[in-house]
A and B are shown apart, each in its own frame.
Chain A
Amino acid sequence: MEYYEKFTEILEKENKKEAVEFVLELLSSKKTDVVGLYTEILTPALNGMACSLKDKRICVWKEHVRTAIVRTVVECCYPYVLEQLNRQETKIYGKAVVLCPPQEHHDLGARMVADYFVLCGIDAVFVGSDTPYDDFIGAVDIIAPDFVAISVSNFYNIIVTKKLVEDLRKKAPSNTRIIIGGSAFVANSENISKINADYYAHTFEDIKSITSVLKEGRE
């Protein structure tokens, strides 16, 4: 909790250098690991961004600046993802693509999820935000991943996600499993059942549990 509070304090000052140094020190001194960092510090910090009364006119600006700082922090963590992977002696068992539907611009949650897949022994391709519809379908057909993870933040994008999942069912290999997640489903869990996905994931433990089925079959 104290690390979260310290990090949000740095984030509110919008001090990128200090944010990166603070997080790298936490990881290098093993005060937390990548999952702990993403789960207990970065995600709550992103979700808890508030706009003070004096900042009201530039709320979106501030949100974007702070999100960009967190993005830099996440990218700086990749060596620690690999280090943790080596330490766990985890083999790579499969492949995942992690992406957002067309016009979904919030992709930082998906970026962290890509690292969760790697830590679970699944090679993850992070495609990012606003993936064009045809590329989405075409790439999944060509890459033939074991998992397609679709992150949705804006609830309007549930509409296109439903269609995407229906089309993926027709085009993707039959053993490709479709996972959905993101704040659009956190805000209203009833929306999960309206998409014909194989799994819903919210936490690292969910990803671990979903991917473990594949691992058991390939060990």
Chain B
Amino acid sequence: MNNILELKNINKIYGSTIKTQVLNNINLSFESGSFNSIIGQSGSGKSTLLNIMGTLDKPSSGEVIINGINIARMTKNRLSEIRNKSIGFVFQFHYLLPEFTALENVLLPYRIENGAVTKEMREKAVEYMRLVGLEKVINNNSTKMSGGQQQRTAIARALINNPQIILADEPTGNLDSNSTETIYNLLRDINERYGTTFIIITHDRHIAEKADRIIEITDGKINLDIKKQ
């Protein structure tokens, strides 16, 4: 299977006077359609790593290659385009805009990319809301939804541009165990249905152990990288 995302010799150092090395020579590659989890203690560098993978942050040195293209050579606009079209993000906090309905929130990445929302795209957004089990609350404002519903809306939003990769940082961190199970099943369903590559940072053992691969980061280094099969 081809690699959709590769990291080569990634280092990240914060500070100039007092330097803190957060990531130390990370080399990783992710197969297209794979379901991966990243674990590690707080401060181990896993969120920094995810931000670099998602082009939200730049490494101090090293290469990030998405679909065979080194992103260092991309212009800022091209990078934003890649980020919006190829990568979906799910964070611990949903970041839904409270002024908008659930459906309008889901359509936001499309509107940023294309402007006006077509009828087909609206139908597609409703379809994603159906997939996440929220077709009955599409017109609710996000503030009128439960934590689990808000997170499922955020997942539908991450899907709207058909990203090849979804990066999730503690997607179930604020949820109870029932909602966690629902979210996990949903992510796995999306992975199998659309072949979307998942890279999930999690503290939750039940999420991590169901991934096909677990990467443990300790003090900015890869301590262990294991695959189920």
Chain A residues positioned under 8 Å from B214 (CB to CB): 155-156, 159
Q: Tell me, yes or no, whether A191 is within 8 Å of chain B by CB.
A: yes
- Whether the Cβ atoms of A187 and B205 lie closer than 8 Å is no
Instruction: Tally chain B residues at the interface, Cβ within 8 Å.
Output: 13
- How far is A155 from B225 in the complex, measured between Cα atoms in Å? 11
A158 pairs with B226, CB closer than 8 A: yes
Asked if B227 and A188 sit within 8 Å, CB to CB, the answer is: yes
Is there contact, CB below 8 Å, between A155 and B205?
no
* B176-229 interface with A by 8 A CB criterion: 205, 208-209, 214, 216, 223-229
**Cα–Cα distance between A159 and B225 once the two chains are bound (Å):** 9
**Do A188 and B39 have beta carbons less than 8 Å apart?**
no
Which residue, B224, B226, B227, has most C-beta atoms of chain A within 10 A? Answer: B226
Question: Which A residues touch B205, using CB under 8 A?
Answer: 103, 156
CB contact between A194 and one of B224, B228, B229 (< 8 Å): that residue = B224
Residue of A nearest to B223 (CB): A162
**A103-B205, A154-B209 known; A159-B228 Cβ under 8 A:** no
Please classify the interface of chain B as helix (H, G, I), strand (E, B), loop, or mixed, using the class held by over half of its residues: strand
Q: How large is the interface on A (under 10, 10 to 19, 20 to 34, 35 or more residues)?
A: 10 to 19
C-alpha spacing A103/B205, complex, angstroms: 10
Q: Is the CB of A156 within 8 A of B208?
A: yes
Find chain B residues with CB under 8 A from A191 CB.
226-227
CB distance from B90 to the nearest CB of A (A): 21
- B:28-85 near A, CB below 8 Å: 39
Whether A162 and B224, one on each chain, are in contact in the complex, defined by CB atoms closer than 8 angstroms, is yes
A100 to chain B, nearest CB (A): 15
Q: Report whether A188 and B216 are in contact in the complex, using a CB–CB cutoff of 8 Å.
A: no
Contact A194 B226 (CB under 8 A): yes
What B residues does A89 contact at CB under 8 A? none
Residues of B contacting A219 in the complex (Cβ-Cβ under 8 angstroms) = none
B184, chain A: closest CB distance, angstroms: 14
Report if A159-B39 is in contact (Cβ < 8 Å); known contacts: A103-B205, A154-B209. Answer: yes
Assembly CA distance A191 to B209 (angstroms): 15
Q: Which residue of A lies closest to B228 (CB)?
A: A155
Question: Quick one: CB contact mask for A6-46 with B, threshold 8 Å, 1 for yes?
Answer: 00000000000000000000000000000000000000000
A-B contact pairs, 11 of them (CB 8 A): A156-B205, A156-B208, A158-B224, A158-B226, A159-B39, A162-B224, A188-B226, A188-B229, A191-B227, A194-B225, A194-B226
| Interface residues in chain A, defined as those with a beta carbon under 8 Å from any beta carbon in chain B | 103, 154-156, 158-159, 162, 187-188, 190-191, 194
19 more contacts with CB within 8 A, not counting A188-B227, A191-B227, are: A103-B205, A154-B209, A156-B209, A156-B214, A158-B224, A158-B226, A159-B39, A159-B214, A159-B224, A162-B224, A187-B228, A187-B229, A188-B226, A188-B228, A188-B229, A190-B227, A194-B224, A194-B225, A194-B226
